[in-house]
Structure 1
Amino acid sequence: MVPNVTMDRQLFLRIHPDDNVLVALQDLAPGTEITFEGKHFSVLSGVKAKHKFTLEPLEAGGEVRMYGVLVGKTHIALPQGETITTQNVHHAADPFTLGERKLDWRQPNVSAFQDRTFLGYHRTNGTVGTANYWLVIPLVFCENRNVLVMKQALEEKLGYRKQSRDYEPEVDQLIRLHQAGATVEDILNADIAADREQGVGKRLFENVDGVKFLNHEMGCGGTRIDSDALCGLLAGYITHPNVAGATVLSLGCQHAQASILREEINKRDPNFDRPLYIFEQQLMGTETNLIQRALSHTFAGLMKANEQRRTPAPMSKLCIGLECGGSDGFSGISANPALGYVSDMLVTMGGSVILSEFPELCGVEQELSDRCIDAPTALRFMELMKTYNARAEADGSGFYANPSPGNIRDGLITDAIKSAGAAKKGGTSPVTAVVDYPGVANKPGLNLLCTPGNDVESTTAEVAAGANVVLFTTGLGTPTGNPIAPVIKLATNTKLFARMPDIIDINCGTIIEGTETIEQTAHRILEFVIDVASGITQPKAVQLGQDDFIPWRRGVSL
């Protein structure tokens, strides 16, 4: 939730009583009259929607505060009503120290969901999957081609190829135009939209949602820290509740050894009992021998996986990953706080949520560390934040460099402004665990997972940590997903929802427009999550086959 919000539904919003800037809800022309809490002034330079302007005069070096925290300091003196930009404000954030525990929080009313269930796949280790996939994974990039060979052999024959991936009909039309003598101008102006059958062919294994083929560029040639982390990440996917079993291709001589992978699997699930087939090419000889044996074992594993059925599971078995990408100036006041309310609801019902992207927690360290359940947990969070930022600064790119050009164009001009809004996804509940990459972060309650702000790297890590559903907010539009966990996209504004309906599932712009409260939006989101977790509804990322998977190299990535 966003407490203490003061909003003029037509013009502007103040997020917190301590803020000295207002957020424009629509484009404000120079001279627009503002009346607020006894203050009467005019907008000076004009303010685009989502951008901020000063509520009071600020001296050079003066503090800019949003969400009740320091988000920047001025380069020059700014008069009342002036737009804040990268030219007149730079990133700044309050220092943080170990403080007193602040664990009191107001639990939301969850009576509408308390006795609800979703239909999931129950694993013997007590986790519940929202899907049932088979994995084919390379331990090293040298095996990527063999993984693709298996994909070409299996995907269409088993009924898992997405028609939406196939743009061959459009290419056929272009070829026909060329053969008919079309000019370059004709080609550029041609309408090549093609009719195609929707959906996929009939699946051979009805209870298996798909075979997912994961490629990456790691496993050897880098640091041992990275190859060990890769084994941990892959172990997180193999033991994930959405995975029925896995086929692993190894070359044999690489840093990421099969023995290390098995150790990482054992750490996560000592009684792991799902089918796991590991093939080492240097021992098996020919590619033909490797592929034929991998195919036969994968097919046998799919037969076993197909024996499983969805059965009811309580809401406490949901573990939701919280992500944002392509953020805009409305992210922190619509979709992100709506996710925060969903997070608090799920925590109240005994579920788990994962908040990651540590560069996007810069500026709210004090609040989050104070919410940690005990001092050691708080110190762990503070240590990870300081170490990560110091490593980034040593390479000349601290957290201050996190906002992208798109973020800045849409009003997120400092990392602290972006971070303060991004942190709203985590709600208000106590932090029950702080986990470093690529660990497991599925403890009931709010988990903090150290990852980069890079959307795909962070989502990849959250799923390895145990998220069986991911909620992803975006203000600019981000076409991404995950191979094994459904990724639900939420638009922060109605214009985006209308412009990109093929990749966005839910509109949170209703909050900005005043037609829906944060609580009402959160209830709508959670209803959608239940349908997705039960296999009733497929989010757009699943429909489009957006299977993005990027392991994090422990070098600097913001």
Structure 2
Amino acid sequence: MPAAIAQPALLLRAGDDVAIAARDIAAGETIQPFGVTARNAIPFGHKIAVKALGAGSQVHRLGLPIGFATCAVAPGDHVHTHNLGFEPSQAEHRIGTRLSNATSLAADDIPTFQGYRRADGKAGSRNYVGVLTSVNCSSLVARMIADHFRNPDVMAAYPQVDGVIALTHKSGCSVAEGGRSMGMLRRTLGGYARHPNFCGILLVGLGCEDNQIASLMDDEGLAEGPLLRTLVMQEQGGTRASIRAGISAVEEMLAIAGQARREAVSASELMVGLQCGGSDSFSGITANPALGVAVDRLVACGGTAILSETPEIYGAESLLLERAVSQDIGERLIGLLAWWEEHTRNEPAGLDNNPSPGNKAGGLTTILEKSLGAVAKGGTTNLNDVIAYADEPVTRGLVFMDSPGFDPVSATGQVAGGANLICFTTGRGSCFGCRPAPSLKLATNTPMFERMRDDMDINCGGILDGSETLDEAGERIFHAMLATASGAPTRSELLGYGEDEFAPWHVNAWL
């Protein structure tokens, strides 16, 4: 990126076939330094052809193909859905060819955040008591229990507690024992039950569901105790009796949670989930690579970053494969992409059903183009592991977790894996939270940031106008991570987001 953006359109890499409009461009306007005249109006963030392209020619952005011209394209043409078509990924699958030799910081140089040290040694960035459900049928009871504690007068006795939250879902029955969906649901609930941002958990079931609490506890190695309680409605005596019993159990856990205090914790214990939603053409130019700089800084501290949304690396997987530290890790990533190709085969547009209408309005045309920006969130360090949905990483550094390209489902898996913070980039203005993990919202462009100040935490639009470099923005994001992990509230937390967005992934024949 140049130090300042003076020209109306950006050529991201020498040899690219298209440039990106840095502002609205009028038809007939001559675009410098390319010397082409806009043949159509080009909206902010959209693509303009800088060379002639024959029908069937590949179109390149950032040096990689993002599709093919469906008709002849002249210099100055608007390039978008009307003349740019999708083609299967052409990415090269060379594993471990560009490994990073970045060094880690010395222990004395690693910064700290103020976190909660739990009995199992993990560090949390928040101090909640959670009410989880084994099945949809116990959702009302869980919400009524949590609602009792939304009264500020009730919680005034527990100033060290961030709240009591209910995380409910739509599954737990008509799910086969031993099946993939049951395994993912139990891993997700088990991961939340162990999450360091929770001091205590109440797990509420109905009693006759497929996802029996006893089986869940056994599969996930969970044991009931003062800070992990269970309640079965059919055994308790029904709805009202269960609500009363649940409130009593939470009150006992709050007495313990209220004694927790923050202490200095090494940044090496931060685990950050990386998300992008409501993306636009600038996501891959500003917020995503700036977040990647912050991720490189976190990894140098010994921390962990989880990149997810498997369909949204399709076409750009080479950028991860070349950084995979082993052949096995690279092949596992290739295997996930092959599964997703088959999984989406009967969809009307296959994998190219993503990007969404909002993404396209922001200038993104194909999933291949969107993926280039999505991968940038992962920075430049090595890919140290590839894990299943809701699995806890067993190695630090950059890790890839399989998940759909739907933010609530993907972030739910990351938090189940232990992410104690989410960083979420957006160009269109996604409104999102993910309790118990705070979610930092990073805006890709200044107009949207100004329009949605109540929802955005950080503006990365200065990278476009030259008032900030990628490195400067990345450093600012990294320090915001530490401040947020230390208790600074995010915009989404202040607005109350984060409970409805709990969405375990289901791949189930019966739903």
Go from structure 1 to structure 2 and tell me whether the alpha carbon gap of 1:255 and 1:397 turns closer, same or farther (over 3 Å shift): farther
Secondary structure at the counterpart of residue 31 of structure 2: strand
| Contact kept in structure 1, 2:420 and 2:438, CA below 8 Å | yes
Q: What is the aligned partner in structure 2 of residue 17 from structure 1?
A: 14
Q: What is the aligned partner in structure 2 of residue 183 from structure 1?
A: none
Secondary structure at the counterpart of residue 393 of structure 1: coil
Q: What is the aligned partner in structure 2 of residue 357 from structure 1?
A: 309
Q: What is the aligned partner in structure 1 of residue 128 from structure 2?
A: 133
**Of 238, 243, 248, which aligns to 1:291?**
243
User: For 1:132-531, what aligned pairs fall within 5 Å after superposition?
Assistant: 132-156=127-151, 159=154, 203-224=156-177, 225=179, 226-266=181-221, 275-441=227-393, 443-531=395-483
Aligned counterparts of 2:360 and 2:109: Cα–Cα separation in 1: 40
Deviation at 1:29, TM superposition (A): 1.5
Q: What is the aligned partner in structure 1 of residue 46 from structure 2?
A: 51
Aligned counterparts of 1:46 and 1:157: Cα–Cα separation in 2: 53
What whole-Å deviation, never above 9, does each CA across 1:438-486 have from its counterpart, x for those lacking one? Answer: 2113631111111111111111111111111111111111111012000
Indicate yes or no: 2:504 matched with 1:545. no
Aligned counterparts of 1:121 and 1:141: Cα–Cα separation in 2: 31
Deviation at 1:396, TM superposition (A): 3.6
Deviation at 1:41, TM superposition (A): 2.4
Go from structure 1 to structure 2 and tell me whether the alpha carbon gap of 1:95 and 1:329 turns closer, same or farther (over 3 Å shift): closer
Q: What is the aligned partner in structure 2 of residue 169 from structure 1?
A: none
Aligned counterparts of 1:351 and 1:100: Cα–Cα separation in 2: 24
What whole-Å deviation, never above 9, does each CA across 1:328-360 have from its counterpart, x for those lacking one? Answer: 111110101100100111111110001111111
Go from structure 1 to structure 2 and tell me whether the alpha carbon gap of 1:526 and 1:436 turns closer, same or farther (over 3 Å shift): same
What whole-Å deviation, never above 9, does each CA across 1:339-397 have from its counterpart, x for those lacking one? Answer: 01001111111100011111110111122122111011111111111102211113444
What whole-Å deviation, never above 9, does each CA across 1:284-336 have from its counterpart, x for those lacking one? Answer: 23434323322222111111122221110111011111111111111110101
Aligned counterparts of 1:133 and 1:531: Cα–Cα separation in 2: 18
Deviation at 1:213, TM superposition (A): 0.7
User: For 1:82-97, what aligned pairs fall within 5 Å after superposition?
Assistant: 82-96=77-91
Secondary structure at the counterpart of residue 432 of structure 1: strand
Go from structure 1 to structure 2 and tell me whether the alpha carbon gap of 1:523 and 1:544 turns closer, same or farther (over 3 Å shift): same
| Contact kept in structure 2, 1:244 and 1:274, CA below 8 Å | no
Secondary structure at the counterpart of residue 192 of structure 2: helix
Indicate yes or no: 2:488 matched with 1:533. no
Runs of at least 4 residues off by over 3 Å? 4-8, 93-98, 106-111, 157-160, 222-225, 270-274, 286-289
Secondary structure at the counterpart of residue 332 of structure 1: coil
Go from structure 1 to structure 2 and tell me whether the alpha carbon gap of 1:280 and 1:379 turns closer, same or farther (over 3 Å shift): same
Q: What is the aligned partner in structure 2 of residue 184 from structure 1?
A: none
Q: What is the aligned partner in structure 1 of residue 27 from structure 2?
A: 30
Aligned counterparts of 2:260 and 2:370: Cα–Cα separation in 1: 43
Go from structure 1 to structure 2 and tell me whether the alpha carbon gap of 1:45 and 1:108 turns closer, same or farther (over 3 Å shift): farther
Aligned residue type for 2:100: W
Go from structure 1 to structure 2 and tell me whether the alpha carbon gap of 1:50 and 1:489 turns closer, same or farther (over 3 Å shift): same
Indicate yes or no: 2:29 matched with 1:78. no
Aligned residue type for 2:272: I
| Contact kept in structure 2, 1:442 and 1:467, CA below 8 Å | no
Go from structure 1 to structure 2 and tell me whether the alpha carbon gap of 1:279 and 1:271 turns closer, same or farther (over 3 Å shift): closer
Aligned counterparts of 1:30 and 1:109: Cα–Cα separation in 2: 51
Q: What is the aligned partner in structure 1 of residue 61 from structure 2?
A: 66
Indicate yes or no: 2:100 matched with 1:105. yes
Aligned residue type for 1:16: R
Go from structure 1 to structure 2 and tell me whether the alpha carbon gap of 1:84 and 1:109 turns closer, same or farther (over 3 Å shift): farther
Deviation at 1:114, TM superposition (A): 3.5
Pairwise CA RMSD:
2.3
What whole-Å deviation, never above 9, does each CA across 1:392-445 have from its counterpart, x for those lacking one? Answer: 113444211101111111100111111111111011111111111121136311
Go from structure 1 to structure 2 and tell me whether the alpha carbon gap of 1:476 and 1:395 turns closer, same or farther (over 3 Å shift): closer
User: For 1:112-131, what aligned pairs fall within 5 Å after superposition?
Assistant: 114-131=109-126
Q: Which runs of 5+ in 2 are unaligned?
A: none
What whole-Å deviation, never above 9, does each CA across 1:246-276 have from its counterpart, x for those lacking one? Answer: 001111111111123213432xxx8997711
What whole-Å deviation, never above 9, does each CA across 1:27-74 have from its counterpart, x for those lacking one? Answer: 1122222344xx532222121110011121111100111122111101
Aligned residue type for 2:216: L
In our comparison, the structure showing a higher alpha carbon Rg is 1
| Contact kept in structure 1, 2:286 and 2:461, CA below 8 Å | yes
What whole-Å deviation, never above 9, does each CA across 1:88-146 have from its counterpart, x for those lacking one? Answer: 111235435642413433649979x9332100011233321001111111110111111
Aligned residue type for 1:233: T
Aligned counterparts of 1:349 and 1:45: Cα–Cα separation in 2: 48
Aligned counterparts of 2:87 and 2:3: Cα–Cα separation in 1: 24
Go from structure 1 to structure 2 and tell me whether the alpha carbon gap of 1:374 and 1:122 turns closer, same or farther (over 3 Å shift): same
User: For 1:1-16, what aligned pairs fall within 5 Å after superposition?
Assistant: 8-16=5-13
- Per mean C-alpha deviation after superposition, the further-off stretch among 483-492 and 227-236 is 227-236
Deviation at 1:534, TM superposition (A): 0.7
Deviation at 1:158, TM superposition (A): 5.6
Secondary structure at the counterpart of residue 481 of structure 1: coil
Aligned residue type for 1:373: V
Secondary structure at the counterpart of residue 45 of structure 1: coil
Identity score, percent: 33
Aligned counterparts of 1:476 and 1:396: Cα–Cα separation in 2: 25
Secondary structure at the counterpart of residue 109 of structure 2: coil
- Per mean C-alpha deviation after superposition, the further-off stretch among 78-87 and 150-159 is 150-159
Aligned residue type for 1:153: H
Go from structure 1 to structure 2 and tell me whether the alpha carbon gap of 1:14 and 1:408 turns closer, same or farther (over 3 Å shift): same
Go from structure 1 to structure 2 and tell me whether the alpha carbon gap of 1:512 and 1:157 turns closer, same or farther (over 3 Å shift): closer
Aligned counterparts of 1:105 and 1:93: Cα–Cα separation in 2: 28
Aligned counterparts of 2:319 and 2:173: Cα–Cα separation in 1: 40
Aligned counterparts of 1:383 and 1:439: Cα–Cα separation in 2: 17
Aligned residue type for 2:504: P
